[in-house]
Every structure is written in C-alpha cells, then in structure tokens.
Amino acid sequence: MSGKGGSLPTASNNKKSNKPVLPQIQRHPAYYEDPYKNSILFSFKLKDRQDEKLKQIVIEHAKREEQTALELSGGKNRQREKSPECPKTCLSEDRAIRNNYYYMKERVAQLPITPASDESFKHIIEHFIDKKLKEGPQMKAVIQRFINETKVLYENSMKKSQLQHVLVAPHVKGLEDEVAGPPPPD
C-alpha cells in the first residue's frame, strides 16, 4: 500500500519510489484446511486430555477398590497407622541429643510460673512513685499500663530464668548459640 492509503500498488513497481513490490507469499492449500493439525500446542492439549482421562480412570479404580475393602471389613474403616519414625541407624547421635534437648526445652517452657503479686506492685508504686505523679485520671491509666507491662516482662524473665536453671545445653553441633544452664557467676 502507498503511504496515504488507496489502492494496492501494482506488482511491477511503485511509481513514487521506483522500488519493485514483492508479490504476496502463497501458502500451501493444506495449511488453510487444518491449521492446527501440525501445531505444537495442539499436541500439548491432546496430552493434557490424555492425562486427565488417565487420572479419572485411576481415581475410579481406587474408589472401586475402597468400596470392596469396606464391604469385606463390614463397613468400618481401618485406623490409619502413624508414619514410622526414622530408624536409629538413620538418626545421628548429635541429632538425637538435639531433638531431646528441644523437647525438654518445650516442656520446661510450658511449666506454670508463679505470677507477681499485686501487693508487690502496690508497694513499688507507693514507695518509688511520688504522690503528685499518682494523682489525676491520666496518670491512673499510665500507672495501669506500667503495671501490665511490668507483669509481662516479669513473666518472660521468669521463664528465661527457669530455662537457665533447669536445662543445661549439651555441647553438640547446632546448639552453640543456646542460652541454657546456670547464669555466669557474678
């Protein structure tokens, strides 16, 4: 076509640029009959259909087998067995010690902790906070928030202390950074 539209240029040459115009590429007639026959994507679609059909057949067969097994057992399902643990030959000694330590640490962390008494917080407030600072509605909210935060910090500290006093981290690979055992002497 020419630059501004209009009719198709002649096959011999273009009048404006004097360049020969190439004829349109002719395709084989079979290409127009079934363009998807030789397509790569079509073979992938066919494979997907075959995979779906195969999965459907396998699932139907498994359902039939399950029904026959249920009929033989009187309609009761078998209890599923737990997955077997690694044999002792596969589990290294260091890993067994590490697993045992983590199990013990989890159990110690779940032990109950004696909470701090409210009297101790009242004592702290009475002796260490000035009376002028305790007055006013804004300060009561601040003091309550202070008490709640202190309780949380106390419980976390007690859990950490309990872990340090009850457990001693074994000297195996993977537990180098564990903080367990008695605190260092002061």
Residue type, 12: S
Q: Quote the pLDDT of residue 78.
A: 66
- pLDDT tens, position by position, 37-46: 666 666 677 7
Among candidate residues 33, 7, 35, 31, the one with its CA nearest the CA of residue 21: 7
- pLDDT tens, position by position, 87-128: 666 777 888 888 888 898 888 888 888 888 888 878 887 887
**Residue extents of the structural domains in the chain:** 11-77, 93-166
Between the alpha carbon of residue 134 and those of residues 28, 32, 142, 173, the distances in Å are 97, 92, 9, 53
Instruction: Give dist(CA 120, CA 126) in Å, integer.
Output: 10
- Enumerate residues 6+ apart whose C-beta is below 8 A from 31: none
* pLDDT value of residue 11: 53
Nearest 5°: CA angle at 179, between 177 and 185? Answer: 125
Q: What is the pTM of this model?
A: 0.43
